[in-house]
A and B are shown apart, each in its own frame.
Chain A
Amino acid sequence: MSKSCLVVDDSKVIRKVARHILEGMDFSVEEAADGQEALTYCRANRPDVILLDWNMPVMSGMEFLTVFNDLDFGFDERPRVVFCTTENSIDHIRAAIEAGADEYVMKPFDRETLEGKLQLVGVA
């Protein structure tokens, strides 16, 4: 069975690029344009992994993560969270780890980088 990924990014181009890469890796892909849309999706679904942008309108990636951490996935494992952002300072990276992110992709990224990070969190 193919794995599922929720791509959360306000950039349509980034979502398209990520979808292209992920579908090439046999992932089924859903998209959300901000943290709020992602939360709505996660309350009804459990993707294997979430690819999360930092800066987005309505609700940022960090705000999403704070609420997401309190969601109850029952007996299912919590989805892995991989930040994917242009916020590339070590302070941002540390903050993301402290907030519960499992991995961090600094943009720009390529297929190999994303694939490697998804392997590290055990979904590829």
Chain B
Amino acid sequence: MMGGSASESAYRVLMGVLESRTGQTLSPNRIWRIEMSLKPVMQRHGIADLDALVAGLVTSNSRQLLDDTVDAMLNNETFFYREHSVFDDIANNALEHIRTINARTRRLTIWHCGVSTGQEAYSLAMLLAEQEAKWAGWQIDIVGTDVSYHAIARARVGLYTQFEIQRGLPVQRMVRWFDQTEAGWLAKADLRRRIDFSVQNMLTDRPPLASSADLIFCRNLLLYFSLPMRQKAFARLRAMAAPQSFLVLGAGETVLGQTDQFVASPRLRGLYEPADQQVRRPDLTRPLAA
């Protein structure tokens, strides 16, 4: 038995739906939560149990039911400044490096792939907004994408509960960038306007980027993909990465044994760079020819 009281075939269908729609697979430790995760969906659609839900997915043409089901099975876990040392490294090192590389174009493009409900993208936006003088005259685009339309809708609104707003966000930034409302803590318009959020399946859709990305965040997403899907995902990320760019993965994630599209950055520990960038860069350690 894979999960709760539903038939094994129901779980298999649900896992198949998730994989075909998002590329993600359910790890064994998430399978048992399916029934709990889908309970609100079943209530909303007046469905009695998982078997009936699967029957509904197979026999009805309800796009809403399909979207809601897939959404509920995704893990949208995120919080502000998740692993805050990563954000310190980006502020102090990666962004400085990009500033030097792009000094001529004065353009900075950041793609947050798997942005979920937006907290980490807002974290980046706050960092950059607080360095406004440094980035004066630059065109900065931050694009957040996710396959979950519920998550993207929440990210766009920028409204967070008391629990969410306290997770990782320093209080000084909270009072500077968020307003307290009856419904929760709302990102100020000046912060919200700095990010474009959109629904996107990274395996099949092109992200809405005006130019290739200098910094790509893709954290704690690829671990939900099977190896072949992960390799495809890395290729998609590489296709959108500027030649001299950085990729940021989650703390437990690596490119080793996963892809040859990216390699560990020799300059910035914990970040990754496009592999072919290594070939094009001149070797500054070699003495100049006489």
Contacts and interface: CB of A to CB of B under 8 A. Distances in A.
Q: Is this pair of chains taken from one and the same complex?
A: yes
Interface of A: 88-90, 93-94, 97, 101, 103-106, 109-110, 112-113, 116-117, 119-120
Contacts of B256: none
Contact of B172 (A90, A97, A106): A97
Contact of A93 (B163, B175, B179): B175
Size category of the B interface is 10 to 19
A103 B180 contact: no
A93 B171 contact: yes
A106 B162 contact: yes
Nearest to A103: B171
A112 B175 CA distance: 21
B175 A94 contact: yes
A106 B170 CA distance: 13
Cβ-closest 9 pairs across A and B: A90-B180, A104-B171, A113-B166, A120-B170, A103-B171, A106-B162, A116-B168, A94-B175, A93-B175
Given A89-B180, A93-B171, A101-B171, 6 more contacts: A112-B167, A113-B166, A113-B167, A116-B79, A120-B84, A120-B170
Interface string B154-190: 0000000011001110111011000110000000000
Contact of B166 (A89, A94, A105): A105
Given A88-B162, A89-B180, A90-B180, A97 B171 contact: yes
A101 B180 CA distance: 19
Interface of B: 79, 84, 162-163, 166-168, 170-172, 174-175, 179-180
6 contacts: A94-B175, A97-B175, A101-B171, A110-B163, A113-B167, A120-B168
B180 A106 contact: no
Nearest to B179: A90
B170 A103 contact: yes
Contacts of A119: 84
A101 B170 CA distance: 12
A106 B166 contact: yes
Contacts of B174: 93
Contact of A116 (B162, B166, B179, B180): B166
A114 B221 CA distance: 26
Nearest to A106: B162
Contact of A113 (B163, B175, B180): B163
Contacts of A113: 163, 166-167
Contacts of B163: 110, 113
A93 B170 CA distance: 12
A119 B162 CA distance: 18
Contacts of B84: 119-120
Contacts of A101: 171
A90 B175 contact: yes
A73 to B, nearest CB: 23
Nearest to B79: A116
Nearest to A105: B166
A104 B171 CA distance: 6
Choose among A106, A109, A116, A117 the residue with the greatest number of B CB atoms under 10 Å from its CB.
Answer: A116
Contacts of B175: 90, 93-94, 97
A103 B163 CA distance: 15
Contacts of B179: 90
A92 B166 CA distance: 15
Given A93-B175, A97-B171, A97-B172, A117 B166 contact: yes
A120 B2 CA distance: 40
